[in-house]
Amino acid sequence: MDQPAPILIHNAEQWEDEQVLNYRRLNKSLKFLVHWKGYERADDSWEPIVNLGHSLELIQEYWEVNHGAG
């Protein structure tokens, strides 16, 4: 299966995320397990929230489904 090329966001190459699967707190910062669109589950990666500024809707959706809206 061919993996998709990165997309340009603010003139930077980025890969399109499809779903946030989990989170963890590491050294007082949050990291999210991200599934990338068009990639296998083996390619999922833990990303710091600062890398996911364009993914805030996915993070909010994950949080509401898994941890309640409040």
Q: Note the pLDDT tens digit of each residue in 3-49.
A: 776 666 666 666 788 999 999 998 889 999 999 988 999 999 999 98
What is the H or E stretch that residue 67 is in? Answer: helix 56-67
Residue 13 lies in a domain: yes
Q: Which two three-digit tokens encode residue 23?
A: 């989170």
Query: Residue 68: left (phi > 0), alpha (psi -120 to 50), or beta?
Result: left
**Residue 70, pLDDT above cutoff 60:** no
Residue 2 lies in a domain: no
Question: What CATH number corresponds to the domain at position 52?
Answer: 2.40.50.40
Q: How many domains does the chain have?
A: 1
Task: Please give the backbone phi and psi of residue 53, each rounded to the nearest 5 degrees, phi first.
Answer: -60, -30
Residue 22 lies in a domain: yes
What residue numbers bound the domain in which 48 lies? Answer: 7-67
